[in-house]
């Protein structure tokens, strides 16, 4: 297989960095970094919980928990709206 030229590589990199191209990939969700401050003890506890649950990191465990909670809360909001409108 022939190696791409420098120009072709630059074009591929440029194309790969365009957000709209990634949004076409099935299952891809754009994310952005965020930061929250947590007490040291809580981080230690999260690391321990992640380890015993087989997660790769406490950040992944925390992200999963936040995802679950947000989904649950959004479902509650949806149900409350339906009840309010009578549908």
pLDDT tens digits, one per residue of 2-57: 787 888 888 888 877 776 666 666 666 778 889 999 999 999 999 999 999 999 99
- Supply 59's token pair: 């950040």
Vertex 27: Cα angle to 22 and 28 (nearest 5): 30
What global pTM score does this model have?
0.63
Task: Specify the pLDDT at position 76.
Answer: 95
Q: What is the pLDDT of residues 60-84, one digit of tens each?
A: 999 999 999 999 999 999 999 988 8
Q: How far apart are CA 22 and CA 85, in angstroms?
A: 38
Gap between the Cα atoms of 70 and 62, Å rounded: 12
């Amino acid at each position: 297989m022939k190696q791409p030229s420098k120009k072709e590589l630059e074009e591929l990199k440029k194309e790969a960095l365009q957000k709209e191209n990634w949004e076409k990939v099935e299952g891809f969700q754009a994310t952005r970094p965020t930061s929250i401050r947590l007490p040291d003890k809580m981080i230690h506890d999260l690391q321990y919980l992640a380890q015993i649950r087989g997660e790769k990191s406490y950040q992944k465990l925390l992200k999963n928990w936040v995802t679950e909670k947000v989904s649950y809360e959004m479902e509650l909001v949806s149900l409350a709206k339906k009840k309010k409108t009578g549908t």
